Amino acid sequence: MTTTQRIFTDEFKQGAVALLASSGRSLAPIARELRLQPSELWKWQRSLTTGADQASEIARVQMERNILEKLWQFSRKHRDEVLNHCGLLQRIPGSGALRCPRRVAIGLLCLAHATGEPTQGSEPTVA
């Protein structure tokens, strides 16, 4: 007796994983309904979930990179100025003598405060 390998489309795999996520039932009964091996459905669920996690991580890293690029350009132009909590320029005497990473860190804290992003510890002080 010969067996043929079944080939499933990406849409079918996504639909099966969506059914698993939305139904609230366990994996085995859903796999039986779809005439699949439970291990196959589990692999699809794992690969689709991992792909979504990687996509969100990539988006977060790109956003952070864009913010750092803007702050880097800003810090090179305005050595004694940083953004305050309202997003306005504020001159800090002597901040031009600070190392650039510290200026960038201060700018990041001020930007996070201005956009409402949660930061650890207290609010940034720029005085």
Cα–Cα distance, 69 to 127 (Å, whole number)? 24
Asked, for residue 1, whether it belongs to a domain, the answer is: no
Strand ranges for 29-102 from DSSP E: 81-83, 89-91
Find, among 47, 53, 13, the residue nearest to 30 by Cα: 13
- Check whether residue 54 and residue 98 sit in a common domain: no
Domains in the chain, number? 2
Cα–Cα distance, 77 to 94 (Å, whole number)? 15
Rounded to a whole number of angstroms, the CA Rg of the chain reads: 25
**pLDDT band (50, 70, 90) for residue 11:** very high
- Tell me the pTM: 0.45
Find, among 87, 77, 126, 122, the residue nearest to 105 by Cα: 126
Asked, for residue 71, whether it belongs to a domain, the answer is: no
pLDDT above 70 as % of the chain:
57
pLDDT at residue 67, as a whole number: 83
- Check whether residue 83 and residue 127 sit in a common domain: yes
DSSP code of residue 108: H
Among all chains, which residue has been given the structure tokens 């996509």?
55
Asked, for residue 66, whether it belongs to a domain, the answer is: no
**How do residues 16-56 score in pLDDT, each as one tens digit?**
999 999 998 999 999 999 999 999 999 999 998 888 888 88
Cα–Cα distance, 98 to 63 (Å, whole number)? 25
Asked, for residue 4, whether it belongs to a domain, the answer is: no
Local structure of 80: helix, strand or coil: coil
Asked, for residue 54, whether it belongs to a domain, the answer is: yes
The whole domain housing 21 covers 9-59
- Check whether residue 45 and residue 88 sit in a common domain: no
- Check whether residue 55 and residue 82 sit in a common domain: no
Asked, for residue 114, whether it belongs to a domain, the answer is: yes
pLDDT at residue 89, as a whole number: 59
**pLDDT band (50, 70, 90) for residue 109:** confident
- Check whether residue 82 and residue 42 sit in a common domain: no
Asked, for residue 19, whether it belongs to a domain, the answer is: yes
Mean pLDDT of 74-80: 57
